[in-house]
Amino acid sequence: MTTRVQYFDDKFRRDDDPWRCNISWYERRKRALMLAALPRERFRHGFEPGCGNGSIAAELATRCDRLLCSDFSSRAVELTRHRLTGIPGARVEQLEMPEHWPHERFDLIVLSELAYYLAPRKLASLVEHVLLSLTDDGYVVSCHWRYPIEPWAQTVDDISNAFRRPGLLHRMVEHVEPDFTLELWSKCARSVAQWEGLV
């Protein structure tokens, strides 16, 4: 029986870009929308678990003083390390989520096309790790495909509901298209204009 790790390792060994993240207009546009939704120009310490081949990481690295990327696929880690070579403050580790969540604090956490692969108990654990490691002025990006993913049963609504924590997280951005949902969550409800003193 093929494990999840083997499944993704095989995907990346057959093709460095199995989901066409580097060349698909859909993927490039989605990435641009995600980056545009970030409320600050720069972040102190970012984290992207499930980084795949590093297509998002390469752009996050230009906006973070420090950036940690991880994936449980050894091939994905290898590809991302190669892509981030020479970028100060960027590092890549092979970690399985949420079991190996790092003991660090982040003001940006990016969850892209990751959470629907987790069973309900693991998704709940992931959210708890996010809450514990997110700084008081930090942000969480959740961006996920809206169509069914087999054999994993989590839906975009399941993911969104897992992050609904009244009094703990505020949804600052909700962008919904037929293909994907992009949400931005924060412990702080201040808007970009409020941070800049415009209102």
Domain that holds residue 184: 4-195
Enumerate residue ranges in the chain where pLDDT < 70.
Answer: 1-4, 150-153
The span from the CA of 75 to the CA of 53, in Å, is 8
CATH of the domain at 158: 3.40.50.150
Amino acid 26: pLDDT: 96
Two tokens, residue 50: 């499930």
Q: Could you write out the DSSP letters of every residue in 53-87? A: TSTTHHHHTTTEEEEEEEES-HHHHHHHHHHTTT-
Count the domains in the chain.
1
pTM for the predicted model, two decimal places? 0.93
Q: What pLDDT sits at residue 21?
A: 85
